A and B are shown apart, each in its own frame.
Chain A
Amino acid sequence: MKRILALFLCAAALTGLAGCGTRQSSAELFAMDTVMELTACGKNGEAALDASKKEITRLEALLSRTRADSEISLLNRSAGKPAAVSAEVGQLLLEARAYSAATGGAFDVTVAPVVSAWGFTADAYRVPSQAELSALLTRVDSSKIGVELTASGAQVLLGAGQSVDLGGIAKGYASDRVAAVFEDAGVTSGMISLGGNVYVRGKKPDGSAWRVAIQDPKNSSGYVGVLKLTDAFAVTSGGYQRYFEQDGKRYHHIIDPATGYPAESGLTSVTVVASANDAEGSVGGSGTMCDAFSTALFVMGAEKAVEFWRSGGYSFDLVLVTDDGRVLITDGLSDGFSQEKGAGYSYETIRKTAS
């Protein structure tokens, strides 16, 4: 009997091993104004992808600024009066407010009216006048968002004329939620790519790290380099992703909350990478954090971004691409970053302590 049991157990183990290599489920969906790719390995992969798609659809309905029935639209319509929202939206607003404070306002969800004035919300692009921008900028201040968590959800009070747009963290938050879905489903190998937001779980089925390329801002078919990642979030923000041109000048979608104009910081892209796991002495990162910081550090520019990274308040690494042809990589990534030969960039490693 013991021999039969041993034989059965070995067969089961071998079958499971083979299954991990062959059972890879993939899905694509359009949501949150982008295309999303999801891959999960293992016997629960298909179920995990179905649950992930439902979760993303739920989040879009909850957080969209352009859907009239979303909680965010409800909140924006009630500016100046308290609005009852779910605890989830309340928590996310608190998190957004914290990232705004941490970055000195370089990330700010209340920049929404300014983004709309440029036409990026409705794809109706225009260049607003300075007077219009100056008036709208008086409404931009996340610290004025009042959030009180209650037994049934949250009460949120926006300042007069304020509105919020969670587009800067919604996809990052979605990646956090999908990571939780993968965890619950027992998926140990998988990857999701939510339009510039990537989360990789474990290693690839062949045991190697996931290879995530960073697009070359100057060349849509090229890379500046490739990251080798396991259990990590990576998010890129760049001015080349969405823009319009008027009178020979290009205007991109990352608005500096301080000026109301598209940020001109000398950076062409910012990639923020964070481990999804807790390490000794630090708490693991999140997709939400990476999403917020990629926008904020793009606004700040290279010098302030590196200073922020060195301050050590949050655990993450960076790949910065500058408009003068440099790629700056923080030293936590130096072993897992492959330079792209022939891309025409010079590569520099940034250390924690300035030399």
Chain B
Amino acid sequence: MRRSAKLRPDPRDLLVAAVIVLAAAALGAALWGRASAGTSGSGLTAVVCVGGQETDRVELSALPKPETRVYHGSGHTLTVRFSPSGAQVVSADCPNQDCVRTGLIDAPGRSIVCLPARISIQLTAADGGGVDAVIG
């Protein structure tokens, strides 16, 4: 069967194909590299938000020893203890004390919320491990 001259690839087609393959390979390498970097450290990080804005970020696994920090929101004050094993509100002057009653959180996806103070403390993992949300 005779091939159409129009469909026969010429050197310029091969050049375009080569550029596309190289671009795909470079993109794949970049994404793989980023994913690998993400899994290299799986330590917990506590993200503290006040009024919906991130105000502090504590890398728990890097703490040489437990430490406490104080946060203020909507006229209330929370004292939070961070340690390599998790985070806990140790005292608060909010009326319902739900944040204190939550106790220690120690896994990615877990959070402590103080509604009166509008403060949240959420644990995340560098490798994105754990869960995306907790209901209940």
Interface size class of A (residues with CB under 8 A): 35 or more
Q: How many residues of B contact A (CB 8 A)?
A: 37
Return chain A residues, CB-CB under 8 Å to B105.
221
Q: Identify which of B107, B109, B136 contacts A196 (C-beta below 8 A).
A: B136
Q: Identify which of A27, A193, A217, A269 contacts B133 (C-beta below 8 A).
A: A193
Q: Identify which of B27, B96, B106, B131 contacts A18 (C-beta below 8 A).
A: B27
Q: How far is the CA of A29 from the CA of B118 in the complex (A)?
A: 9
A339 to chain B minimum Cβ distance, whole angstroms, is: 14
Majority secondary structure of chain B interface residues (helix, strand, loop or mixed): mixed
Q: Are B16 and A221 in contact (CB under 8 A)?
A: no
Majority secondary structure of chain A interface residues (helix, strand, loop or mixed): strand
Query: B120 within 8 Å of A by Cβ?
Result: yes
Q: How far is the CA of A238 from the CA of B51 in the complex (A)?
A: 26
Q: Count contacts between A and B, CB distance < 8 Å.
A: 99
Given known A7-B19, A35-B120, A221-B107, contact A215–B135 (CB-CB < 8 A):
yes
Given known A198-B135, A210-B132, A212-B135, contact A221–B49 (CB-CB < 8 A):
no
Q: Are A123 and B96 in contact (CB under 8 A)?
A: yes
Q: Are A7 and B27 in contact (CB under 8 A)?
A: no
Q: How far is the CA of A213 from the CA of B16 in the complex (A)?
A: 48
Q: Are B20 and A10 in contact (CB under 8 A)?
A: yes
Q: Are B52 and A30 in contact (CB under 8 A)?
A: yes
Q: B residues 21-49 with Cβ under 8 Å of A? A: 23-24, 27, 30-31, 49
Return chain B residues, CB-CB under 8 Å to A196.
135-136
B133 to chain A minimum Cβ distance, whole angstroms, is: 4
B79 to chain A minimum Cβ distance, whole angstroms, is: 19
A241 to chain B minimum Cβ distance, whole angstroms, is: 7
Query: A353 within 8 Å of B by Cβ?
Result: no
Q: Are B134 and A27 in contact (CB under 8 A)?
A: no
Return chain A residues, CB-CB under 8 Å to B104.
221
Return chain A residues, CB-CB under 8 Å to B51.
30
Query: A201 within 8 Å of B by Cβ?
Result: no
Q: Are A18 and B31 in contact (CB under 8 A)?
A: yes
Return chain B residues, CB-CB under 8 Å to A18.
27, 30-31
Return chain B residues, CB-CB under 8 Å to A269.
136
Q: Are A197 and B20 in contact (CB under 8 A)?
A: no
Q: How far is the CA of A212 from the CA of B109 in the complex (A)?
A: 9
Q: How far is the CA of A236 from the CA of B134 in the complex (A)?
A: 10
Q: Are B23 and A213 in contact (CB under 8 A)?
A: no
Q: Are B27 and A3 in contact (CB under 8 A)?
A: no
Q: Identify which of A30, A215, A221 contacts B118 (C-beta below 8 A).
A: A30
Q: Are A213 and B133 in contact (CB under 8 A)?
A: yes
Query: B68 within 8 Å of A by Cβ?
Result: no
Give me 9 A-to-B residue pairs in the complex whose CB atoms sit less than 8 angstroms apart, sorted by A's number. A28-B49, A28-B52, A30-B115, A34-B115, A35-B111, A200-B132, A220-B101, A226-B131, A271-B136
- Could you tell me which B residues sit within 8 Å of A by CB distance? 12-13, 16, 19-20, 23-24, 27, 30-31, 49, 51-52, 86, 95-96, 101-107, 109-111, 113, 115, 118, 120, 130-136
